[in-house]
Amino acid sequence: MIDATELRRRTRELLAVQPPTRLPPPPSTEGPAGPPPSFAGTDRLDFLRARFDAGLAWVHYPEGLGGLGAPRSLQAVVDAELEAAGAPDNDPRRIGIGLGMAAPTILQYGTEEQKRRFLRPLWTGEEVWCQLFSEPGAGSDLAALGTRAVREGEDWVVDGQKVWTSSAHLARWAILIARTDPEVPKHQGITYFVCDMTDPGVEVRPLRQITGEAEFNEVFLTGVRIPDSHRLGEVGDGWRVAQTTLNNERVAIGGTRLPREGGMIGPVAKAWREHPELRTHDLHQRLLGLWVEAEVARLTGERLRQRLAVGQPGPEGAGMKLGFARLNQQISGLEVELLGADGLLYDDWTMRRPELVDFTGRDAGYRYLRSKGNSIEGGTSEVLLNIVAERVLGLPSEPRTDKDVAWKDLAR
């Protein structure tokens, strides 16, 4: 059984064999010239690969796949040792879709060959991932998607359009759901694939947002050939596989670990303290209320991660993501109101293709505009309210008249 003591030992052993920082040699004792310059240390990527191979990437994963089969809660032990040693991380924000959505799905449904091919470069950040789920006519009703995949020998030929695809302009791989059987009801005729974004027929076009940036994209798939060996799960079982991805996505968006006054509430509290001339009684009361709600959300996130440590994410993630969206929009609105005319300033309207979404390192105007997307991305707030109502509170489900209708017969 792997415990905290054993993990510390293995982590320190990794640091001894693969020191992550370059250190100058000790002072010379061989005269003025001294020994030739030499450095002890490991290249960042080499260190990350060695960490993965040592089972210290995500300790709850199986041996040989970046883990040791240890309790998920013990990951914090490894992370603390490596942080204290100045070891590099894998830039998790940049590769969040791979870490938070693709990896758990591959682990649960992938073949051994798929796990060994994809998980290591995914975790080290050598290969960026994106998510090809939503379509112009299938966003909130994702199961109505129309992208088709038709079997031709050992390949599937895919044609369709996806939209709101974060990081598609950076990604090597995509998790993709497509319709493989239009003759059955919409939830039953979907299959889940891994798509190579560098293949012929994949076209990525930027979507300019209200912020002026283009972190999202629309993706056109024209005759894209995907080998059957890149299918995850059984043919027609893609909706069930996709639920694993979606549950993990909501946790990844709404359940990020934050310190007190982390996230959106931090800049507002800072502005309040630094500018007493901006204060009014009404703003003070609203800020206090939102500060308390942000702290409750932070502690609830800690509780959710404790549940994750002993199982798989469930519908609780939908509640966290709901709160995340609502709080961000209310807090950013309060910040703009607090700063008055200065709150409307936004220093960069140029078209950019960012690798990361940075909420706290930008102007208040940017935060206000960007937070509007929080109630859409990762599942709209309306859909998540239904999930919480039905799967958490046990309320009756909404009438679904198309549940047993073949997809080809649905009105579109």
Each residue of 307-366: pLDDT tens digit?
A: 766 666 666 677 788 888 999 999 999 999 998 888 877 766 666 777 666 666 788 888
What does the alpha-carbon distance between residue 152 and residue 283 come to, in Å, rounded to a whole number?
63
How far from the centroid of its chain's Cα atoms is residue 144's Cα? 24
Burial class (CB in 10 A: 0-12, 13-18, 19+), 310: exposed
CA dihedral (297, 355, 84, 123) positive or negative: positive
CA dihedral (293, 298, 303, 307) positive or negative: positive
Q: Name the strand (E) or helix (H) holding 224.
A: strand 216-227
State residue 386's pLDDT score: 87
- Phi, psi angles (nearest 5°) of residue 375: -90, 5
304: which strand partners? none
Q: Of 15-29, 40-54, 142-156, 261-275, give the lowest mean pLDDT range.
A: 15-29
Q: Of 52-56, 184-188, 275-279, 313-317, give the lowest mean pLDDT range.
A: 313-317
* Contact by Cβ (8 Å): 266, 358: no
Each residue of 17-65: pLDDT tens digit?
A: 999 865 444 444 444 444 443 334 678 999 999 999 999 999 999 999 9
**Mean local confidence (pLDDT), 58-77:** 94
Percent residues over pLDDT 70 in the chain:
88
Rg value, the chain, Cα: 24
Q: Helix H segments across 88-227?
A: 96-97, 103-109, 112-124
What does the alpha-carbon distance between residue 135 and residue 362 come to, in Å, rounded to a whole number?
30
DSSP SS3 for 106: helix
Q: Name the strand (E) or helix (H) holding 13.
A: helix 4-17
Contact residues for 407 (Cβ-Cβ < 8 A; gap 6+): 144, 179, 181, 182, 183, 184, 185, 186, 189
Each residue of 364-409: pLDDT tens digit?
A: 888 898 899 888 887 788 888 888 888 888 899 888 888 889 999 9
Its pTM stands at: 0.85
Q: What are the structural domains, with CATH classification, of the chain? A: 4-89 (no CATH), 243-392 (1.20.140.10)
Local confidence band at 216 (pLDDT 50, 70, 90 cut-offs):
confident
Each residue of 92-112: pLDDT tens digit?
A: 988 999 999 999 999 999 999
Q: Which residues are designated catalytic?
A: 249
What does the alpha-carbon distance between residue 369 and residue 382 come to, in Å, rounded to a whole number?
20
* Contact by Cβ (8 Å): 221, 147: yes
- The strand pair at 202-207 and 129-132 is best described as unpaired
Nearest by Cα to 330 from 296, 287, 366, 373: 287
What does the alpha-carbon distance between residue 267 and residue 273 come to, in Å, rounded to a whole number?
10
Using the predicted structure, report yes or no on whether residue 300 has a pLDDT greater than 80: yes
Q: Helix H segments across 255-280?
A: 265-274
What does the alpha-carbon distance between residue 238 and residue 231 come to, in Å, rounded to a whole number?
9
What does the alpha-carbon distance between residue 265 and residue 180 come to, in Å, rounded to a whole number?
45
How many Cα neighbours within 13 Å face the side chain of 378?
Answer: 28
What does the alpha-carbon distance between residue 71 and residue 308 come to, in Å, rounded to a whole number?
10
Using the predicted structure, report yes or no on whether residue 12 has a pLDDT greater than 70: yes
221: which strand partners? 160, 202
